[in-house]
Chains A and B, each alone.
Chain A
Amino acid sequence: AQSVTQLGSHVSVSEGALVLLRCNYSSSVPPYLFWYVQYPNQGLQLLLKYTTGATLVKGINGFEAEFKKSETSFHLTKPSAHMSDAAEYFCAVSALSGGYNKLIFGAGTRLAVHP
């Protein structure tokens, strides 16, 4: 069965610093992986996804993630944090179940950005 583990429920960085949010997955088949962001009192917005092809995936708002099969990881990075990046971030894996694909979410990482 597929699962996702996000290391660190809270991450705090300074504005302009590197953002690194960690995600490890478990999957018996080639995984499809996703990062979503949730701003306060809002729904989820897709940042990026990996399905096939290039293992370095670029997303919106300057975020990118690299699929590393050998490490079963899909960490999210951004070179320079902005105050507006403060939000909850969820890593997810697509799991085939009952003939359809569904998303399995990690516990989430709350990113704080301070001046």
Chain B
Amino acid sequence: SAVISQKPSRDICQRGTSLTIQCQVDSQVTMMFWYRQQPGQSLTLIATANQGSEATYESGFVIDKFPISRPNLTFSTLTVSNMSPEDSSIYLCSVDWSGRYGYTFGSGTRLTVV
């Protein structure tokens, strides 16, 4: 399966600032997915990033708040902009490395906004 490196693993940020999370995959993948896991909650899909096109956002998530880049087939970034304490969550990237429902997840970025 694919190996995903996600950075940073955790961060504490001041409200009003922005944090960019990086996701690096050891193989080329078409789709990369970004999820949010709020404290004690399940995972919610933020957006899907396809190389060469704009990301597709789920209901309740907007590009101004969560801009995503996908410059090539092995890398993506998610930025959490103008952060507030409500953004404190774990953010995870995921790929379908095999194209046959082999969804793999990064270890996540634990974000605390103070």
Answer whether A and B are interacting partners: yes
Please give the residue numbers on chain A whose beta carbons come within 8 Å of chain B beta carbons, in ascending order.
32, 34, 36, 41-46, 49, 51, 90, 94, 98, 100-108
Q: Is B56 close to A, CB under 8 A?
A: yes
Q: Is the CB of B42 within 8 A of A43?
A: no
> Which residue on A lies nearest to B100, using beta carbons?
A51
Q: Is the CB of A103 within 8 A of B45?
A: yes
The one of B6, B42, B43, B48 that contacts A100, using a Cβ cutoff of 8 Å: B48
Q: Is the CB of A49 within 8 A of B42?
A: no
Find chain A residues with CB under 8 A from B110 CB.
Answer: 41
The minimal Cβ–Cβ distance linking A84 to chain B, given in whole angstroms, is 18
Q: Is B105 close to A, CB under 8 A?
A: yes
A2 to B97, CA, bound (A): 22
Please tell me the number of chain B residues within 8 Å of chain A, measured between CB atoms. 24
| Sample of 20 more A-B contacts, CB < 8 Å, known A46-B103, A102-B33, A102-B48 | A34-B103, A41-B110, A43-B6, A43-B92, A43-B107, A44-B94, A44-B105, A45-B105, A51-B100, A51-B101, A90-B42, A94-B101, A98-B48, A100-B50, A101-B96, A101-B101, A102-B45, A103-B94, A106-B42, A108-B41
Q: Is B104 close to A, CB under 8 A?
A: yes
The minimal Cβ–Cβ distance linking A10 to chain B, given in whole angstroms, is 11
The minimal Cβ–Cβ distance linking B43 to chain A, given in whole angstroms, is 5
Find chain B residues with CB under 8 A from A49 CB.
Answer: 101
Find chain A residues with CB under 8 A from B43 CB.
Answer: 44, 90, 103, 105
Interface set, chain B 42-73, CB cutoff 8 A to A: 42-45, 48, 50, 56
